Amino acid sequence: MATESEPAVKALTVSQLTAKLKGVMENTFRFVWVSGEISNCKQAGSGHVYFTLKDEGAQIAAILWRSAAQRLRFQLKDGLKVLAAGPIQLYETRGQYQLIAEQLEPQGVGALELAFRQLQQKLEAEGLFHPDRKRPWPVFPRRIALITSPSGAAVRDMLQVITRRWPRANIIVVPVPVQGAEAAPQIAAALRSVHLIPDVDVVICGRGGGSLEDLWAFNEEVVARAIFECQIPVISAVGHEIDLTIADLVADKRALTPSEAAELVVPLETDVRMLLEQIRQRLTSALQYRAQHARFQVERLAQHPCLSRPLDRIRELEAEVDDLEERLGRAMRRRLELSRQQLGTISASLNALSPLAVLDRGYSLTKRLDDGDLIRDVSALKTGDRISTLFSHGSVTSEVLEVESDDDL
């Protein structure tokens, strides 16, 4: 019989209870699929991703270990609905159960499709797809670099098309894998170093058709940025017409197939020869027309009187000079006579105003010899002044003996 100091039932410690729950839970839920919406998503410095899966009525903590996170093709973010799969684990320290997400699939769309959309939105926002940055390539490239698998059908098709269209084409193949985990880094490395190959004017980067997984190297961000940073124009030629990759969107030109890329990069020799022949014919016609026109002008000039009878014009000019000389002489004589008449009129007017004319009428002018002042009044003189009196036809010098004014009379 239990005493008052002893409980009726033996109690478990918290650790014991948690350990029992951990065993039951982890043995019961070794691997489960859980559908929910991601929230509180964050990545730790260790590379592990912590988030919460929730629906309208409940939530559960979840962890994506770094190794699984590195294999994930798409980005986790709040609000994304996913299917997560893995074991349930009880974290004893906190007494909290959590899902160890070993697999993650987006709901409503495939993982690769979601990864494609996310990267497309990201790079488009950065301007990597903008048409203004698309570069042209030369009509007659000096050297063409093919970044592709050296053993695939795509490289054979491109070589055949290019050499058929433009036999003198200079082609160099830069071998890279185009499928698998190592494909994207090697394609990106080739794009970053292709400008070191002398005389390369244009790059074709691509491969033949395949599944979305087969073409995925051309949807990797590292390849997209390498195309954007490439110092040489890049033509993307990935898969078939229906296949669209991130590389197609970033490249300076998208070709629907590798064969079309080969057709785009070089002209057709027969077309060039035809164009040159048309230019030659147009130049010949133009030169013939110019020659005929020049000949006509020469003939017309040869018939001009100044060339057929060059002295006629000289004689005409001589006659014009003689006529001008005669007209100038008459004009000068008329001008001289007019000036003479004007001068006589002016002279008469001046004579009428001249003091000498006054003298002719019996008047005289007197001025003191010492200072040359004109004597206008008798008061300006004094006895002993020597004066000069100017008459019409001469002058008289005299000395004042006596001065008498009107007042003295």
Q: What CATH code is carried by the domain that includes residue 28?
A: 2.40.50.140
Which residues are within 8 A (CB) of 183 and not within 5 positions of it... i.e. 6 or more apart?
176, 177, 217
pLDDT score, position 76:
82
Tokens of 370: 């010492």
- Confirm whether 126 is domain-assigned: yes
Range of the domain at 383: 359-404
**Is 263 found in the same domain as 277?**
no
CB 82 within 8 A of CB 105: yes
Question: Domains in the chain: how many in total?
Answer: 4
- pLDDT profile of the chain (409 residues), mean per 10: 60 81 80 85 88 85 87 80 85 83 77 80 91 93 95 93 93 94 94 96 93 88 95 94 90 94 94 92 93 86 72 81 89 90 83 66 79 82 84 82 72
Q: How far apart are CA 225 and CA 115, in angstroms?
A: 16
pLDDT score, position 109:
62
**Is 92 found in the same domain as 152?**
no
pLDDT score, position 102:
86
Last residue in a domain, options 91, 108, 125? 108
- Confirm whether 375 is domain-assigned: yes
**Is 263 found in the same domain as 126?**
yes
β pairing state of 171-175 and 143-148:
parallel
Q: How far apart are CA 138 and CA 53, in angstroms?
A: 55
331 sits in which H/E element:
helix 310-353
pLDDT score, position 108:
65
Across-strand partners of 202? 144
Taking the complete model, does pTM exceed 0.85, yes or no?
no
**Is 208 found in the same domain as 252?**
yes
**Is 305 found in the same domain as 163?**
no
Long-range contacts of the stretch 182-188 (C-beta < 8 A, 24+): 183/217, 184/217, 184/220, 184/222, 184/223, 185/222, 187/147, 187/217, 187/218, 187/223, 187/226, 188/220, 188/222, 188/223, 188/225, 188/226
CB 240 within 8 A of CB 257: yes
**Is 145 found in the same domain as 210?**
yes
Last residue in a domain, options 108, 133, 155? 108
Across-strand partners of 98? 61, 89
Across-strand partners of 330? none
- Confirm whether 25 is domain-assigned: yes
- Confirm whether 198 is domain-assigned: yes
**Is 262 found in the same domain as 188?**
yes
- Encode burial over 345-359: b for 16+ CB neighbours within 10 A, e otherwise: eeeeeeeeeeeeeee
| 3-state helix, strand and coil shares in percent for the chain, rounded to the nearest 5 | 45, 20, 35
**Is 275 found in the same domain as 220?**
no
**Is 210 found in the same domain as 139?**
yes
pLDDT score, position 357:
65
- Torsion, Cα 332 337 343 344, to 10 degrees, reads 170
CB 373 within 8 A of CB 390: no
Last residue in a domain, options 64, 80, 108? 108
